[in-house]
Amino acid sequence: MTTSPSTTPASPRESRDAASAPSALRVAGLRFRYGPGPWIIDLAELSLAPGEQVLLTGRSGSGKSTLLQLIAGLVDPLQGSVEVDGRNVHALSGSARDLFRGQRIGMIFQTFQLLPGFTARENVMLALLFAGRAPREQRERADRLLVELGIERADAAVDELSVGQQQRVAVARAVACNPSLVLADEPTASLDCENAGIAMDLIQESCRRTGAALLCASHDPALAARFTRKVSLT
């Protein structure tokens, strides 16, 4: 299945400003498929300015999650390039790519993917560990972020937390390293309407506070009003 961006045309001034500003994300000529089948991803161009928030839409199976995995460097494309903060993600070696991802890309998953048996603090500290932060900084920053996001029991195992609290821990982990880009894959899919709204408030405000660009993949039409720019995969 091919993919193409659908966006509101920019004014000439906006286009000049976007061209002169460094991009948090720049995708060019990206193509991917499994085996000899049709292209799952066939994306000519996608870019996000620093701090920009974009909603990635499309029906189930349109390639939203695959595109996020390609951007994060978890999957290699067959053609094209992905640059985050001006660095070609797929030109990096395995260990260098892992370190770069830990430092510059935050990820929020539909199922949170927190480590069971570990505390809220330890889940956030692991993100800082993988980014090469000093042990003392790991604990101090983890505790500060958790308090800011309303988690007072940093030493509680994540298994003991409510779904809404687990989402807050996942957001703290995603922004812990002050990433340039946060990728959110169906972040509200497992939440009811009330908690979904709270979760999106947390995600968007956390990205604004840290200056991270946000690419949020979702098929939930209720999120559309939150984003001025939308990209549709068809």
For residue range 147-190, list pLDDT tens digits in order. 999 998 999 999 999 988 998 999 999 999 999 999 999 998 87
- State the pLDDT confidence band at 21, using cuts at 50, 70 and 90: low
Q: State the Cα–Cα distance between residues 128 and 176, nearest whole angstrom.
A: 7
What pLDDT is stored for residue 130 in this prediction? 86
pLDDT value at residue 14: 39
For the 12-115+178-232 domain, the top CATH level (class) is: alpha beta
Distance CA 7, CA 199 (A): 25
Residue ranges of domains in the chain:
12-115+178-232
Helices within the chain (DSSP H only): 12-20, 64-72, 94-104, 120-130, 135-148, 163-175, 193-210
Range with the poorest average pLDDT among 61-70, 120-129, 192-201, 225-234 = 192-201
Tell me which of 5-14, 22-31, 112-121, 211-220 is least confident. 5-14
Rounded Cα–Cα distance for residues 142 and 169 (Å) = 10
Length of the chain: 234
Residue 192 banded pLDDT, cuts 50, 70, 90: confident
For residues 118-126, give the mean pLDDT.
96
Q: What percent of the chain has pLDDT over 90?
A: 70
CA dihedral 119, 124, 127, 130 (to 10 degrees): -60
Which of the two residues, 1 and 114, has the higher pLDDT score?
114
pLDDT confidence bin for 195, thresholds 50/70/90: confident
User: Looking at residues 117-122, what average pLDDT do you find?
Assistant: 96
Residue 53 has pLDDT above 60, yes or no: yes
Mean pLDDT of 207-227: 94
- Supply the mean pLDDT for the chain: 89
As a whole number, mean pLDDT of residues 115-139 equals: 92
Mean pLDDT confidence for 108-115: 89
Q: If you write DSSP's letter for every residue of 20-72 in order, what string do you get?
A: HSPPSEEEEEEEE-STTS--SEEEEEEEE-TT-EEEEE--TTSSHHHHHHHHH
Asked if the model's pLDDT at residue 72 lies above 70, the reply is yes
